[in-house]
Amino acid sequence: MSLLKYETELTGQGAKIYGSECSQVICDIFDMIVRGLRKVAPVLLNISSTSQSCNLVMSRYCTTNLFTDQKQTQFYAKFRPHYTSEIYNTIVEFCKESHSDFDLAVDVGCGSGQSTIPLTEYFKKVIGVDVSENQIANAAQNAENVTFKVSHAENLDFIQSNTVDLVTVAQALHWLDLEKFFSEVFRLLKPGGSFVTYGYGLFKLEPEAADNVVQHFYGNVLGNYWPEGRKIVEEKYMSITLPFPGWRRNDSLAIVKECTIDEFIGYMGSWSALNEYAKANPDINLLDIVRERLETSLISQTNQKAIKVTWPVFMLMGHTPISR
């Protein structure tokens, strides 16, 4: 039977298909795709939902669903690496190049606020925006000049045009509809306003014994559970070009942290791929397995339990023209 017209809806139980001619076999096939091949489903389907605007082929599905799990969100807030003061000094110096007023900064994809709060030291007012209600609920609102909003990055109509000195996106640009988002960025920014997107690439652990254990699980065990956009982060946004004249990169910084095995396991708990793996394999506690492997390899090979983690930092920065 042919399928002349159809619309798909992603639900918690699978996929619903509506159409003028749609056999049960076709419905079952689509349901299997969504359940079993979640990694590629967003690319294959143009997902639409009445409850959330998931119309983009890949990015909006990932953005709205990546951190809806409360436990994962708490791991994210507690264990994700903190951006260093050098990163924010670099951002501030870049803003000074265009004589910024430092009135208003907007941090898009702010998560639970790790990338937002440091901006409050430099700007009179800061707005953190994220599509995840769970992330915003966990945001630390411990500064008087910060406000957090739940919103899609491509529609920030609660902010007036030409009022923003700086728009930042930390570790989230790859989830966005870039054409629509940058149209909104140009609407928001003052003439000479600044845009900075930054993040961290794939970590490196020391000693090497620990790195070998974790890289095995990261790539071999969890490889098929990472969302499509993860590859863009691993490549440090090398495939992304900013729509600003004379924009530039900075790859000179890094985040370095000494941590215990348990602290690193907590960081792993914030990974979206591990969350998806747990859903597909509810009887396997992968974090316990990794913890045991790390303890065994570190004690037997190095006689230590401390881990040094290094994340390479990348920054892409651009100014809007002074006159436009």
pLDDT tens digit string along 212-244?
999 999 999 999 999 988 999 999 999 999 999
Q: What is the pLDDT of residue 10?
A: 36
pLDDT per residue over 288-313, tens digit each? 999 999 999 887 777 777 899 999 99
The rounded Cα 97 to chain-centroid distance in angstroms is 28
Cα distances (angstroms) measured from residue 261 to each of 179, 204, 269, 272, 308: 41, 14, 12, 19, 10
Q: What is the pLDDT of residue 71?
A: 58
The CA distance from 302 to 42, in Å, is 43
Q: What is the pLDDT of residue 229?
A: 85
Q: Are 116 and 107 in contact (CB under 8 A)?
A: yes
pLDDT per residue over 52-67, tens digit each? 233 333 333 344 444 4
Q: What is the value of pTM for the model shown?
A: 0.76
The CA distance from 237 to 7, in Å, is 33
Check pLDDT > 70 for residue 114.
yes
Residue 93 tokens read as 């110096």
Check pLDDT > 60 for residue 2.
no
Alpha-carbon Rg of the chain, whole angstroms? 21
- Going by C-beta distance under 8 Å and a sequence separation of 6 or more, which residues neighbour residue 215? 205
Q: Are 53 and 152 in contact (CB under 8 A)?
A: yes
Q: Are 168 and 115 in contact (CB under 8 A)?
A: yes
- Dihedral of CA atoms 187, 49, 176, 143 in degrees, nearest 10, equals 70
User: CA quadruple 138, 139, 143, 149: dihedral positive or negative?
Assistant: negative
The CA distance from 61 to 10, in Å, is 10
Of 59-73, 107-121, 181-195, 256-270, least confident by mean pLDDT is: 59-73
Strand partners, 311: 255
Q: Are 91 and 168 in contact (CB under 8 A)?
A: yes
DSSP 223: G
**How, if at all, do strands 248-250 and 204-206 pair?**
unpaired
Residue 312 tokens read as 């390479």
User: What phi and psi values does residue 120 have, to the nearest 5 degrees?
Assistant: -65, -15
Q: Are 10 and 34 in contact (CB under 8 A)?
A: yes
The CA distance from 13 to 31, in Å, is 9
The CA distance from 198 to 173, in Å, is 9
Check pLDDT > 60 for residue 159.
yes
Nearest residue to 317 via CA among 90, 32, 76:
90
Amino acid at 74: Q
